[in-house]
Structure 1
Amino acid sequence: MKKNIKLICIDMDGTLLNSKHEVSERNKEALKKAKELGVNIAIATGRLFCSARYYSDIIGVDTAVIASNGAYIKTNYEDKALLENPMPKDVAIKIYNIVKKYGLSVNFNSWDTLIREYPVPETHAYYVMNKVLPEEKQVKFIINSDNFVNALEAFEGNILKGIVIEEKENKDHLWAAKKELKSIFGDKLHIVSSGNDNFEVMIGSSSKGNAVAHLAKSLNLSPEEVMCIGDSENDLSMINFAGVGVAMGNGLDLLKNAADYITDTNNNDGVARAIEHFVLNG
C-alpha cells in the first residue's frame, strides 16, 4: 500500500543493522531508490553521532542523524547541530550516584565523546569502529576512575545521554535502578531501554519521537508524511508520532502493538521490505 512518505526515520541496532552489525545490500538499495524519489532519510539511534554517521556513510545515502535517543540531530561532522539537548551536570551526577548504589556503572556521552570510569574493552563497538576511521571522525574517550564526578563537571553543557549496561544474567538490580530513577525524576528524565541488558537516560524532552517531530517540522512535513521503523522501547515514541509506524519482526511486543505495520526481521531485510511496501511499490 503506497503512501505519500517524505521522511523515513530508521533505528540502527536490531533494525537497519543485522545481527552481524551489517547493512544488507537489499536495505541499501531500497534506501537509495527512496532517496532518488525525493524521500528524506534519517537514522535514529541511541548511539552517539560519530558512530551513527559511520553507518550513514556506509549506506551511501545522504542522511540526517538523530543521535543519543533524540538529544542531538546533525547531518555531517562539519555541520551545525539542528538540535542539541544536554542534561545539567547536577542531574548527571545524581544519576551516577543512584546507579552506583546498585553496583552498576554509567557511561555518558556528548556528540563525539564517551565518558567512562573504566577503560574501554577492545571488543567495544566504538573501539572497533575507531580502527577504520580517520582520527577526526573517531569517537573520543575520557576515562576517569579516580574522580568521575570531576569529569562530569568538566563536561557541563555537553552531556547528551547516559547508558547503564549489565552483562550478567541476573538483571534485577539493573531494573531496580531504572525504577528508582523513574520514581525520583518522573518526566524530568526520559528513561528507556534499547535492549534487554540496558537502560538509557536523557533529559525529559529528549526522545526519538520529539526529535523526529523537530526534523519533520524543519522540512515542513506533517506526521502523515513520516514513516518510522524500529524494534525496541526507545523507538516507541517515534512509532507513535509517525503517520506510518513500522515494527520489526524481531521487535518487542509493545512496539508491535503500537505499530501500523509489522515487517520482517533485521536479518531478513525488514527495513527494505517496509520501504518497498509503502514507498517503492504500487
Structure 2
Amino acid sequence: MIKLIAIDIDGTLVDYNQSEISRPVKFAIRKARDLGIEIVLISGRNYYSMKKFVSELNLHGAALTINGGVVVNTDQEKIMRESIIPSDVVEKMLKILDQDQTPRIVFSGLALYVEPKYAQHETVRYLMKEKDNVLLVEDMFIHAKNNNVNKIMAMTQNEKIAEIIDKIKPISKGILNMERGLDNHVDIYPSSTSKGASLAYVAKQKGIDKHEVMAIGDAETDISMLLEAGVGVAMGNSLSSVCKHADFITKPVWEDGVAHAIETFILKDR
C-alpha cells in the first residue's frame, strides 16, 4: 500500500510551458491526500519558487527543494536538512566567476540571492515573479561567509560554460557536481545532493518503508528518487534514460500523467 507520493514539479506536475496544475491532476492528488497518503513535492526549484504549488494543493509536511539539497518543513517554513557547499569553496568559485563578470544566482536556504549588478538578467527577472523569491545583496562574499550556500547557478554563453567548469574542477575536490540544466546555465552543487537521498530521509522520518513510496518524475535528476521508491513512475514525456529506471511509464504531462499514475496505483481499488 502506497503511503507517500513524491512528485517532481516541472515536466511532471505542470508542463514546462505553463505553471498551472490541471484540474484532473489536482483532483487525483487531493483524493490521495484525503485517503491519508502523504504528498511531497520535490523539485530543482528553491522553496519560495515552489511555495505556490504547496499552497494550492494544501500540503503540510515536507517540501524537497533544490533537487533534494534542502528539505523544508512547510508548516513552519524551517529547514530540516540541507547539503552545503563549504564556504571556502564558495569564495573561490565567486572569484573565478568575477574574472569575467559572469552573472550568478546563489541558492541559500529558502530563497535566491543576487547582486544588484545582475538583477536585470533575464533569468533573474523571470525568477523575481515569485513573491519573496529573489533577494538582493550588495556583497555576495559577505553573504556567503554568513549564510549556508546550497547551490550556485552561473549564467553565460554555452561556449564559456565549458571554461567555467574547467576552472572550477580543480577546487571541487570531488565534493561538487556541475551540470548544465537550462541552456546557457550551469548548476554547481554539493555531490551529496540528490532527490533520492532526501526522499529516503523524509520517508524514514515518517516511518514509511521504501516499498510504500511512489515517486513520479521526468528528468535525469529524478532517477535517484525513482530508484529509492517502491514504485518509480516515469512520465510519458521522459527521456529514455529515465524510463529505463522506472517500474511504470504513465501518460505525458500534457495528458495528466500524474493523475493517471495515482488512479492506476491508488484510486482504482478504492
TM range (shorter): 0.7 to 0.9
Structure 1 pair 140–173 and aligned structure 2 pair: CA distance change class (3 A): closer
Specify the alignment match of 2:64 in structure 1. 66
> Greater shift after overlay, 193-202 or 203-212?
193-202
What SS does structure 2 have at the residue aligned with 1:115? strand
Bigger drift between 53-62 and 237-246 goes to: 53-62
Does the CA contact (< 8 Å) of 2:67 and 2:221 recur in 1? yes
**2:31 maps to which residue?**
33
The match for 2:55 among 53, 57, 63 is 57
In the alignment, the residues of structure 1 paired with residue 166 and residue 261 of structure 2 have an alpha-carbon distance, to the nearest angstrom, of 34
Paired amino acid for 1:189 = L
Q: Match of 2:234? A: 247
Following the alignment from structure 1 to structure 2, what is the Cα–Cα distance between the partners of residues 23 and 63? 20
Give the SS at the match of 2:11: coil
Measure how far apart 1:186 and its partner are. Answer: 5.8
Aligned-partner residue type, residue 3 of structure 2: K
Is the alpha carbon distance of 1:248 and 1:197 closer, same or farther for their aligned partners in structure 2, counting shifts above 3 Å?
A: farther
Letter in 2 for 1:128: K
Once residues 219 and 82 of structure 2 are traced to their aligned partners in structure 1, the CA distance between those partners, rounded to angstroms, is 23
TM-aligned CA deviation for residue 196 of structure 1: 5.0
Q: How many residues align?
A: 265
Deviation at 1:23, TM superposition (A): 0.8
Q: What does 1:227-238 correspond to in 2, within 5 Å? A: 227-238=214-225
Partner of 1:142: 136
The DSSP-based 3-state class of the residue aligned with 1:163 is strand
* Pairing of 1:122-141 with structure 2 (within 5 A): 124-130=125-131, 138-141=132-135
Aligned pair in 2 of structure 1 residues 277, 177: CA closer, same or farther (>3 Å)?
farther
- Does the 8 Å CA contact 1:109/1:115 hold for their aligned counterparts? yes
Deviates more, 1:260-269 or 1:77-86: 77-86
Q: Which runs of 5+ in 1 are unaligned?
A: 131-137
Q: Which residue identity is paired with 1:13?
A: D
| Distance (whole Å) between structure 2 residues aligned to residue 195 and residue 121 of structure 1 | 14
The 1:244/1:129 distance shift into structure 2, 3 A limit, reads same
> Contact 1:122–1:128 at 8 Å: present in 2 too?
no
Contact kept in structure 1, 2:114 and 2:134, CA below 8 Å: no
Partner of 1:134: none
Matched, 1:164 2:165: no
Q: 1:10 aligns with which of 7, 11, 26?
A: 7
Stretch of structure 1 that moved more, 114-123 or 268-277: 114-123
2:257 to 270, 273, 277: 270
Cα pair distance change 1:119/1:245, threshold 3 Å: same
Per the alignment, in what secondary structure is the counterpart of residue 251 of structure 1? coil
Distance 1:197 1:237 in 2: 25
Shift, 1:30, TM fit: 0.6
Distance 2:235 2:101 in 1: 33
Contact kept in structure 1, 2:108 and 2:150, CA below 8 Å: yes
Which residue does the alignment assign to 1:152?
144
- 1:203 maps to 190
Report the secondary structure of 1:82's partner residue: strand
Segment drifting more, 37-46 vs 93-102: 93-102
Distance change in 2, residues 1:195/1:30 (3 Å): farther
CA contact (8 A) 1:112 1:140 kept: no
1:141 CA drift (Å): 0.8
How many Å separate the matches in 1 of 2:81 and 2:261?
Answer: 28
Q: TM-score, normalised by structure 2?
A: 0.85
Report how far residue 172 of structure 1 moved: 4.1
Amino-acid identity (%)? 31
Q: For residue 113 of structure 1, what is the amino acid of its counterpart?
A: A
Counterpart amino acid of residue 96 in structure 1: L
Report the CA distance between 1:35 and its aligned residue.
Answer: 0.8
Q: Structure 1 counterpart of 2:23, which letter?
A: E
TM-score by structure 1 length? 0.82
Determine if contact 1:195/1:232 at 8 Å carries over to the other structure: no
